[in-house]
Amino acid sequence: MHRSVSTHSWLLFACGTIVMAMGTICVAAAKQNDGTDRPNVVFIICDDLNDYIEGFNGHPQTVTPNMVRLADSGVRFTQAHCNIPICGPSRACLFSGIYPHNSGCYGFTKWDTYEVLKNSRTLMDYFRQNKYYTVGTGKLLHHMVRGEWKNFGNRADYGPFAYDGKDNQPHPDTPTPYSEIGPVDGSFGPLVNIEGRTTKDGRPLMWRTGGWQKVDELKIHRSGENDPTPDEKNGDWAVEQLRALAATKAKNRKPFFMGVGFIRPHTPLIVPQKFFNMFPVDEISLPEILDGDIDDTFAQTIRGLPEGKEPNSERTEDMGGKLFHKLVESYESRDDALRHFIQAYLASIASVDEQVGRILDVIDTTELKDSTIIVLTSDHGWGMGEKDYLYKNSLWQESTRIPLIVRAPGIALADTTCDRPVSLVDIYPTLCDLCDLEGDTMKNEKGHPLDGHSFRPLLKDPTSGTWTGPDEALTALYKWRMKYDPHKESYSLRSSGWRYIRYENGKEELYNTASDPNEWENLATKTKHQDRIQRFRQTLASRLPEKGVAPPQPQWKAPGKPEPKSNEYWKDLYFKKNPDADADKDGTLSWPELQAHKKVVAEEATQ
């Protein structure tokens, strides 16, 4: 557990006691402690990027030459995992170095409203406290606080979007019913000229960027070139900053920490046509999918009720199931549907790889090359139809696994692979270790020390390096709640050869990932594995706070407003007014029963 790092303070103390005799040593030590000899850091994070990178065995046709170039000069972590597989809380965990069960941040409430997080230093704040120049651009923390950075470029922008002058629209070539999901998750296709195209009710379409409140037109010129996309703007900004930093004489330049957040391959999967041309849709290879693989899983038992299911059905569905089924409905077959979506996903990754290459070009052709650590990763993965699921936010391999590449000049062995499970929470203490940072990462006693462990030894020796962290990567599952109790959430533990899942309702899954890497067979009910299940239960319990202990939650009560009612309160109130909604007559109204009853009432109202 990392709380502070100090290797120079003892030298300064010694110098202070013998300054009359060894003044020159004191001056040298003070200069070193100012950080002028510390390495720079460029931290690159992509959104929703799974293992579809060359060298990670995710997809045989992916084209990522620049990410390969980075990996060839560093270490690939092939079993790195996120700590919660959805954007907001995953990034809060990464940049705070604190697990959700210790911060309370399992959801999308602004990270700096959590008592633990606002009283702990973010990664960039800690670098700044250590006299680093901190610069960033794009999507880094989900709720960006500009004061965390010395210099910040562009806010997160999910464009380009098709735009009708009033609202964002799905890509005009996205088929229905998938496009009915909306302009973010229900949209993919090439960035081509749509001049003259209209919505169904005749409103002309154009391309736009600019975030949620600002509208900037993005034009496709006669030459076929497009105005910069948001990711291209972030690439431009990073390159400009790096060139300026490289041009500054080393003796006058502070070490810097740069964060670059690229949106793609987050939906909408809209990138220039040239990237789609790299992946002809009829040649796309499909992932290995076992028909009926979902049948022995239990994630659905904690979700909402799918269309066509009886209210007392155990089988339920969430966003991942919805996206999958709507996509399949939009094409002639499942395979055809997945080929079109994967084409857009691979094209989006290729577009980001181009920007990564531009950043590497500046670093590798200047004196920054030997003094700059580079980290490339993602906030979580993405399922591509496995287990009838097309989304993030599951506790299976496709969603929890993330790419992680680290180049650390003079430390990391080039072109090597580490298969030991690590997670995003370990990046913060690792960079502290590599950059020799000093001081407390907690602002005060209301904060929390870092939960992760430095994997520096694994950079020096990826196969036999000493690892002081846990044997299992821990991942929590997001579910919207007013308040979170660490012992009432769902979790996964991923060890070198196994994955254990425990859902909030007590149902379990167990996979032997050594012999079953696709996680096709749930072994949790097999008698011969009960001892292993019990050990995983004990391990999970030991990783969580004591029962009854939960980190403080943000206050939902607005000034002058009454305390909001919980979801359970409103469900109980609905039950009192509609006792017939209890379809199985067990005296308790479940959420699927409530949803089914409301749907029946709505249908009756339209007849």
Within 8 A by CB and 6+ apart from 601, the residues are none
How large is the average pLDDT for residues 164-179?
A: 96
- The rounded percent of the chain whose pLDDT value lies above 70 is 87
Residues 6+ away with beta carbon under 8 Å from 208: 159, 160, 161, 162, 163, 168, 215, 216, 217, 218
pLDDT at 33: 45
Place of tokens 């001049």: 195
Cβ atoms of 269 and 348 closer than 8 Å: yes
**pLDDT tens column, 67-88:** 999 999 999 999 999 999 999 9
- The per-residue pLDDT for range 497-534, each reduced to its tens digit, is 999 999 999 999 999 999 999 999 999 999 999 999 99
Distance CA 15, CA 554 (A): 46
Domain 40-159+229-287+307-471 has CATH 2.30.38.10: no
| Least reliable range by pLDDT among 111-115, 139-143, 269-273, 310-314 | 310-314
Task: Examine the pLDDT at 16 and tell me if it is beyond 90.
Answer: no
pLDDT at position 12 is: 36
Q: Is it the case that residue 314 has pLDDT exceeding 50?
A: no
pLDDT at 606: 53
Kindly state the DSSP code that residue 493 receives in the 8-state scheme: E
User: Which string of b and e fits 127-149 if b means at least 16 CB within 10 Å?
Assistant: bbbbebbbbbbbbbbbebeeebb
471: DSSP letter: S
Query: How far is Cα 489 from Cα 506, in angstroms, rounded to an integer?
Result: 10
How many CA within 13 A on the CB side of residue 528?
Answer: 3
Computed over every residue of the chain, the mean pLDDT equals: 89
45/354 Cα distance (integer angstroms) = 14
Q: pLDDT at position 18, please?
A: 34
What pLDDT is recorded for position 591? Answer: 75
pLDDT single digits (tens) 321-366: 999 999 999 999 999 999 999 999 999 999 999 999 999 999 999 9
Does the pLDDT of residue 238 top 90, yes or no?
yes
Q: Which of 112-121, 188-197, 284-293, 554-563 has the lowest mean pLDDT?
A: 554-563
Find the farthest-apart pair of alpha carbons in the chain and give their distance in angstroms, rounded.
96
pLDDT(94) > 50 = yes
Q: Where are the domains of the chain?
A: 1-33, 40-159+229-287+307-471, 569-606
How much is the pLDDT for 571? 74
Token output for 158: 């999910």
pTM: 0.87
